[in-house]
Structures are given as structure tokens and as C-alpha cells.
Amino acid sequence: MQVLKQILGCLFVMFLYQIGRPCDICGCSVGGMYMGILPQFQNHFVGFRYQYREFTSTHTFNQNAYNSTDRFHTLELWGRFYPHRKIQLMAFMPVNYFTKNENERVTSTIGPGDLTVLTNYMAYNTPDTAITWWKHNLLVGGGLKLPTGDFNHYRNDSLLNPNLQSGTGSWDFLLNTSYTVRYKKLGMNVEANARFNTSNAHGYRFGHRFNGAIRFFLWTKIKSTSLVPYISFLIDYALKDRNRNLIVLESGGINLTPQWGLDLYFKERWMVGAFASHKMWDYLGNGTIQSGWRFGVQTVFIF
């Protein structure tokens, strides 16, 4: 009887292990949430931003070779509101369209993603009346990512890979800080973010995420239009995911990415911007995943 229990136990563990190993590796969601350069710290705004990310992967499963290209499109409504001059509320509501082309078989999902809300405290901001060439701003805060997106997309009666779901299905906790300094027309922005994830109803938990960025920008003005070109260096790091407490080997990793962008401010009310980036180095999903191009555009109305 004891031997039978051990055999059954081993078979059960092997069964869970197969569940924990996705048969189709998917472009990972290592990329974190960045706020970027946000001047006019004392004002509210509302706007849209779009981001595209691309990943390729090569792997084998059950002695079969798989090659895939995964594309992630996200359109996001976001805004900032000040209930108090030192308290900043921010919200991000995405709609996701994801596609996976694996060995000429295309799978796609579309739907609203997970709502994120942040509360930031303005620890320091150079007063507008200050007679100085130096400008400083320091924000610290945190928030929640709510499970508002669909995480139950199925194909052929099989639950899709978690990275192809519109949402994660989990409540996640966020910490963030951002510091901006500017001397005359030259400036620097540094930000750091962390996301601590919980498990969803399927027992899947994305690995905790950490990301940071440093940006160098030039603030110049032509008549009533301000131009802000910048170059950034981004780092994204994610721990490995867990499926029913089993480690998903082809997950997590690190990504180092330079980024170039330009923001335009019209009469200090409208902002439009665009950026593009490509990895400098990465190691994702135990080397099975390679990140490609990222680019995005955004527009904001400041009031």
C-alpha cells in the first residue's frame, strides 16, 4: 500500500509538472509600466497612449520544434488628478490585442485589460516662483492593479497561455518613485517601479516585476510649441512565474533597452509624443525568447 501511494504521488506530481510547462512558449510580459517625463506637475491631464511590443521564440516540446512571433498591442486611457497640491492620483485602463503566430497557426485575443490605480505623494517640487535655473521634482507612491481583464480566453477547449490573456486575474501591489531634475534646458528623469503579484483563480502567479529607467532630455521652445527630445535606458527584470506552486521554467528574465523619443507641447495644453526602442541585451525565458521592437505614441490634454 505504501509503495502504491508513492507511485500515485509521483504520477500526480508528473501530471502537475506537465500542467506547469506551457506547450507553447509565449512572448513574455517582462516589460513594466513607465510614466516617463511628465512636466506641469501641478496640473491634471487625461489622454491616450498606444504601445506595441514584439517577441520571437524557438523551443521544442514533445520532440516537436516550435517557432513563434508574438505581438502585443495595448491602447490605454490614462489620467492624473490632484485632490490636493501634494497628492497625485493616476489611473490606467488598457485594452489589449495580442496575437501569436506559431508554425503558421495564428491565435489572437482582444479585450479590456487590468485597471491600475496609483497614489503618489509629491515629496518635493521647486516652486514656480523660485528664481533659479534648477528645477526638482520627487514623487513617491504605490497602488493596485485590479483583475478587471479577462483571463479565461480558451481555444479548442484549452485555456490559452497566461501571457495571451487580456488580464492576469490577480490583485497586484505596486510601488513607484520618480525624480526629475532640470538645469535650464537640460534635464534628467529617473524612475523605479515594482509590482508584487498574487495568484489568480487558476493558481497561476506571474513573477514579481521590477523595472527602472534613466532619461536625458532637452527642453526647448519654438514660439508656442515646446519640444522635448530624449534618450532613455530601460531595465526590466521579472522573477519566474509559478503554476500551482511549480516554477514555470520558460518565464521571467531581464531586458536592457535604449529608447528614443520626442514629446511636443502645444500652448502648454496639448501634448503628443512618440518613442521607439530595441533591445541592447536580454535573457528571457531561459533563453527561449528574444525581444524585438517596441514603439508607442501618446496624446494628452492638460487642464
pLDDT value at 22 more than 60: no
- Give a three-class secondary structure readout of the chain: CHHHHHHHHHHHHHHHHHHHCCCCCCCCCCCCCCCCCCCCCCCCEEEEEEEEEEEEEEEEECCEEEEEEEEEEEEEEEEEEEEECCEEEEEEEEEEEEEEEECCEEEEEEEECCCEEEEEEEEEECCCCCCCCEEEEEEEEEEEECCCCCCCCEECCEECCHHHCCCCCCCEEEEEEEEEEEECCEEEEEEEEEEECCCCCCCEECCCEEEEEEEEEECEEECCEEEEEEEEEEEEEECCCEECCEECCCCCEEEEEEEEEEEEEECCCEEEEEEEEECCEEEEHHHCEEEEEEEEEEEEEEC
Identify the pLDDT of residue 109. Answer: 95
Identify the pLDDT of residue 129. Answer: 63
pLDDT value at 26 more than 70: no
Identify the pLDDT of residue 156. Answer: 85
Top pLDDT among 302 and 35 is at: 302
Q: pTM (2 decimals)?
A: 0.86
Query: 185-241: per-residue pLDDT in tens?
Result: 999 999 999 999 999 999 999 999 999 999 999 999 998 899 999 999 999 999 999
Query: 157-171: per-residue pLDDT in tens?
Result: 889 989 899 999 999
Domains and CATH numbers, the chain: 24-302 (2.40.160.40)
User: Is residue 9 very low, low, confident or very high in pLDDT (cuts 50, 70, 90)?
Assistant: very low
